[in-house]
Amino acid sequence: MEPLQLKDFTNEAGENGVSRFNSLGHFTASARMRKWIPTTVSPILRYDDTQSSTPSIELPVPAKLMSKSILPLNTAVKTALAKARANGFIRFEDLPEPWKINQYVVSGYRFHATIPECLISMIRLSNESFNIWSHISGGIFVAAIAFFYYPLTEQYRQSSTSDVIVAAVFLVSACLCMLCSVMWHTFKSIAEREAMHTFASVDMIGVTILLTASAMMTEYAAFYCDRPWQMFYISLTCAFGLNGIILPWVPKFRHPDAAWTRVIFFSCLGLTGVLPVIHIIMTRGWPSMLALYRPMGGVVSPIIGGAVIYASKFPEVFWPGRFDFLGSSHNLWHIAVLVGIIRGYFAMQNLYLEAFNRARDNVCM
């Protein structure tokens, strides 16, 4: 007799008496199906069906199959919460499907039922500790630059009100980006799918805000004496940035498999300054363009490099589990963002100084 296959037991029991899974996670076959069950599995057969007067047979279902396609999400969440409470942390395979983002980070996962529990877990060493605290410390550092260091510079003393506003927008955007990142990495362990997706969207919005502000700051300085073109490019960048605020709420865009899609989009957002570059080459020549944009090379290169590392999941893709707590692709991405922000501040200082000199000498064009 042909052995019974698991695919034969996927429908709810009905008049045809096919099959179903009961609340205990065992397969329940009706009497009509028992004749198809091979005798070789008889030691594991049990008669137990409290919901029907018809005798039934139960077959244990492989745990791997149960976790992926049979157990309801709320059951998987409850199981993960129980393991997290018992052990402190859980492994990647213990996570419910929506929380499985990087299979090469194997251990050290937090999983909590409430927001306060997520907050308390910040002080415990986990695979998110570096991601959380690198941007907390980075945000404090950038805030110190904004409030204590920048006001002491020569560029600040020469700045108009609009100059200071643009600089403030960049520095505040950098702090917001890191705050959004901290929120995501702190609360991604919340055991509520919609809340987790909300914090993922908040993180991507933070990246959008920073890239938009960086491009605006560059365009503001590049067309310092040409307000119509300045406003045109800033408006174009803002429109692109608005899409970056909307797209994170689209489920397909924030899906783990769409990492390269996000990298391409955010790279395009960061490169909205390409049109101003072409504009300056055509109107002022290559030397002026190189002099103006040279400082931005040190800003763009770590961001793009970090984004490629993030999307490729290097190095953990080659050594799963070895970089769970330190050195993973997301850790390296956070370092790249911090380097880009700090270099962005010094690039802003150079751009402002160049713009002030051109305005003073009346050589804007």
Annotated binding-site ranges for Zn(2+):
185, 330, 334
Full DSSP string of 210-268: HHHHHHHHHHHHHTTT-HHHHHHHHHHHHHHHHHHHHGGGSHHHHSGGGHHHHHHHHHH
Cis peptide before 62 (omega within 30 of 0): no
Q: Report the alpha-carbon distance of residue 40 to residue 60 in Å, rounded.
A: 14
Q: Please state the separation of Cα 339 from the chain's center in Å.
A: 18
How many CB atoms sit inside 10 A of residue 211's CB? 26
* Separation between Cα atoms, residue 281 and residue 289, nearest integer Å: 6
As given in the structure block, the two tokens for residue 246 are 């909307």
- Report whether 165 contacts 216 (CB < 8 A): no
Total number of residues shown for the chain: 365
Spatial CB neighbours of 50, under 8 Å, sequence gap ≥ 6: none
State which H helix or E strand residue 17 sits in: none
For 211, phi and psi rounded to 5 degrees? -65, -40
Whole-angstrom Cα distance, residue 66 to residue 84? 19
* CA separation for the pair 248, 241 (Å, rounded): 12
CB 181 within 8 A of CB 206: yes
Annotated binding residues = 185, 330, 334
Q: Are 48 and 56 in contact (CB under 8 A)?
A: yes
* Helix ranges, 16-160 (H): 31-34, 63-65, 73-87, 115-120, 129-144, 154-158
Give Cβ neighbours of residue 237 (< 8 Å, ≥ 6 apart). 212, 215, 216, 219, 272
